[in-house]
Chains A and B, each alone.
Chain A
Amino acid sequence: MLPKFSYIRPDKLDQAVAQIQAGNAAIHAGGTDLLGCLRERIIKSEKIVSISGLEKLRGVRETVEGGLRIGALTTITGMAEDPLVRKKYPGLAMAASEVASPQLRNQGTLGGNLCQKPRCWYYRGEFHCLRKGGNQCYAIEGENQFHAIFGHDNICVITHPSDTAPVLSALGAKVQVIGPGGGRNIAVADLHVPPRDDVRAETVLDQGEIITHVDIPPPPAGLYTSYRKVRARRSWDFALAGAALALVMDGDRVVRASIVFSGAAPVPWRSREAEQALAGNTLSDDTIDKVCRAATAGAKPLRENRYKVPMFRGMLEEELRKARLQEKA
């Protein structure tokens, strides 16, 4: 049984903003992560503000510039199946279709997928870890086979659980946010907080701020997108290793490369080393080899997750070979 809470379902966005400001209110969008966090006492909140009635925050539409504006309440299924998403950014549709299970995709929302809490078993379990206000990360010395190999700085070694964030980050998308102080937009690439900046925060959002939309810039000519998720079982699981690619191609040459990993770091992990090794080059065997080695050169694996280093290399190699095949076709 969940702890007791009051429940408010505003009809309008400004009501929701006003309600969420107060105290330790928590936002209910799809509820798939919230209910679990309430059960596990990770979120301790006596007031739930449900934004599920705000229909204006649902759906995908094309912007005048030719990009997409996706409402934060759009379900993951809605995104995976949307014809515009599939046409303009196939990698985003792939990522959405790989999230969790059909039931959770039918309920979970884009905003929730970006703001979900981490999946470390110490954090989700009964351990008062650093992220929950304690004084140590239990995973650094403990069971860490599913944990981070990048960006953890030996502070907190969670991996960010979102599949959609890496693709949106690679595409240069921005979240539109509304809060008590008005609206602002934040690049998805800047939304998540690395442990060295603040180990207690997952996102840069302030209390009372709600993501309303995600804006994706128009696809440039020659854009190739993909998402790959390697996991322990085929049916549904979080990523052991994942990669979002957004490559701008000119013939067989990669003009611009964005490569963002999932299952890699406490935040969606942009591999600038891999991007630099790839940009300006053709997808030759030699380049692919260099890119993959560059991608993992800075890895800091833990005792039980060394396997992730060759896994990321191998996965990236396969993904770049797929991109090459696609361009030749």
Chain B
Amino acid sequence: MEKNDHDDKQGNGYSRRGFMQFIGVGAGVVGASLLSPPLRRPLKAEDVGTIFPASEMVKVRLAVNGTVHAVLVEPRWSLLYVLREIIGMTGTKIGCDRGECGACTVLIDDVPRYSCMTLAVEAENRTITTVEGLMKGEELGPVQTAFVETDAFQCGYCTSGQIMAVEGLLRKVESPSPEEIRLGCSGNLCRCGAYPNIFAAAGKAAQLKSK
């Protein structure tokens, strides 16, 4: 069994994730600097471009849900890992971690992508939206509301990915046909088989959004 991103935490007495949630998001630089690997800004040389050395933490700026997070990352870290374990936003789920199930779906520049198949360093200077970003204060956004009202889940593990796939679809197509909905959700697996209600939720979400 392959090690996944969870197994690779650096032991410092408490989980980084818990710590980050305690001090709040946006303080990534302070939090990560306690882990004391060498800190290095990416080199920006005229003849090379951007270089991130292999074993060093480098600072990248990730714009997530309207807030810019300056975080220290290794080049090999996925956006999924950084969202959950460094920034502390756990709404995005880890499923297969190999680009097949869709649980980790986020929007990058309004377009659904698998965050497990995206390096965090590749998401620099892009606009990232996670399921947390669909909230309007303490209220659920229209796609989230539609999922609740149509009972579009059983166990709920795939739900945030499904919601982001639908959100991405509706940002592109205001009022999708049933076929467009099925295609839009086709990159997201639901092992409980809640598909009929997920498709219904997508239709309802389109109505709620247009109100």
Given contacts A39-B98, A101-B102, contact A107 B119 (CB under 8 A): no
Q: Is the interface of B mostly helix, strand, loop or mixed?
A: mixed
Q: CB distance A102 to B187 under 8 Å? A: yes
**How far is B114's CA from A103's CA once the two chains are assembled, in angstroms?**
6
Q: CB distance A4 to B99 under 8 Å? A: no
Q: Which 8 A-B pairs have the closest CB atoms?
A: A101-B187, A7-B75, A10-B49, A2-B76, A6-B54, A235-B186, A7-B52, A9-B50
Question: What band does the interface of chain A fall in when counting residues whose beta carbon is under 8 Å from B?
Answer: 35 or more
The interface-forming segment of B3-11, B25-33, B202-210 is: B3-11
**How far is B53's CA from A16's CA once the two chains are assembled, in angstroms?**
16
Rounded to whole Å, the gap between the CB of A217 and the closest CB of chain B is: 31
Q: Does B138 contact A (CB under 8 A)?
A: no
Rounded to whole Å, the gap between the CB of A169 and the closest CB of chain B is: 26
Binding site for A on B (CB under 8 A): 2-5, 7-8, 47-55, 74-76, 78, 81, 97-99, 102, 105, 111-114, 117-119, 121-122, 165, 168, 183-184, 186-187
Contact partners of B122 in chain A: CB under 8 A: 28, 31, 50, 52
Rounded to whole Å, the gap between the CB of B167 and the closest CB of chain A is: 12
Q: CB distance B52 to A8 under 8 Å? A: yes
Given contacts A1-B3, A7-B121, contact A103 B187 (CB under 8 A): yes
Q: Of the candidates A31, A39, A47, which one forms a contact with B118 in the assembled complex, judged by CB atoms under 8 Å apart?
A: A31
Binding site for B on A (CB under 8 A): 1-12, 15-16, 19, 28, 31-32, 35-36, 39, 46-48, 50, 52-53, 77, 100-104, 106-107, 235-236
Q: Which of A1, A4, A53 has the most CB of B within 10 A?
A: A1
**How far is B118's CA from A204's CA once the two chains are assembled, in angstroms?**
27
**How far is B86's CA from A324's CA once the two chains are assembled, in angstroms?**
58
Given A6-B52, A9-B50; 20 other pairs, CB 8 A cutoff: A5-B54, A6-B75, A9-B49, A10-B49, A11-B50, A28-B122, A31-B119, A31-B122, A32-B99, A39-B2, A46-B54, A47-B54, A50-B122, A102-B183, A103-B113, A103-B117, A104-B99, A106-B113, A107-B118, A235-B187
